[in-house]
Amino acid sequence: MKDTKIRIESLSVSYGNKPAIKNISMNILKNQVTALIGPSGCGKTTFLKTLNRLNDFNDTIKISGKVFIDDLNIYSKNINVIELRKKTGMIFQKSNPFPKSIFDNVAYGPRVNGIKNKDELYEIVKSCLMKAALWDEVENYLFDSALKLSGGQQQRVCIARALAVNPEILLMDEPASALDPLSTARIEELILELKENYTIIIVTHNMQQAARVSDMTAYLYMGELIEFDKTRKIFTNPSKKQTEDYITGRYG
């Protein structure tokens, strides 16, 4: 499919002898938001981390199957994992800005990549903070600690930091779960704006959030992909009774 950004074929993941993901196959389309829903422990975060190989840091993990990004198998032996992680920015459940200024948080990735020119760095920082809908709030405080910001602002700094290395994919692991309703709404608005330029996969426990922001929804249960379809269909006319039971709150 020409609009496919990520192609997953028979992906299985286990921690030692404990299966976490069981034989998942799916296509994730460019410039769409794909939501991963399901009860705690169903494999959503493990699945997300297979897309930028963050699971590599766990010595007990075993992975089989294939994950293609733009037809490149990211588990092939000659893959450059550092380049892969540049392409796939990650935003975590708890905002994790570095104990540095707002400017230095966003400039961190470009500096690591060899950009030293102050004017160039400033333009990158400004552009990314604007994309993260934060520039107007912090432009006069760029050199203050990012840790002084509110939780919602800190999360948007983390999004700006992820954008600063020019990713193509954004992986979001419950990015608004620790935020108040107003900050959550800002993050959701931001997701809808960002999908014009990025492919976004979001893990969320919030059914309403998945319905609001995503184009496609995948329901996972006990490591298995139960159903994957357009969000509207999943929430109004799911094909599987198991999906319906979860969405209507009968279990999970």
Please give the Cα distance from 209 to 78 (Å, whole number): 38
Q: How confident is the model at residue 94 (pLDDT cuts 50, 70, 90)?
A: confident
Average pLDDT on 188-210 reads 94
Average pLDDT on 165-183 reads 91
Q: Please name which of 12, 5, 110, 131 lies closest in space to residue 61, comparing C-alpha atoms.
A: 12
Q: Above 70 in pLDDT, residue 1?
A: no
> Can you tell me which residue has the tokens 């975060």?
45
The burial of 146, by beta-carbon neighbours within 10 Å (0-12 exposed, 13-18 middle, 19 or more buried), is given as buried
Give the C-alpha distances (Å, rounded to integers) separating 194 from 53, 163, 201, 213: 23, 10, 12, 11
- Asked whether 132 and 106 are in contact (CB, 8 A), the reply is no
Q: Beta partners for 11?
A: 24
Q: Quick count: other Cβ atoms within 10 Å of Cβ 219? A: 27
Q: Above 70 in pLDDT, residue 251?
A: no
pLDDT of 177 reads: 87
Alpha helices (H) along the chain = 44-50, 81-87, 102-112, 118-131, 135-138, 151-163, 181-194, 207-213, 231-236, 241-247
Dump pLDDT digits (tens) for 30-53: 999 999 999 988 999 999 999 999
- Asked whether 200 and 170 are in contact (CB, 8 A), the reply is yes
Average pLDDT on 138-159 reads 95
Query: What is the separation, in whole angstroms, between the first and last Cα of the chain?
Result: 33
For the chain, how many residues are written? 252
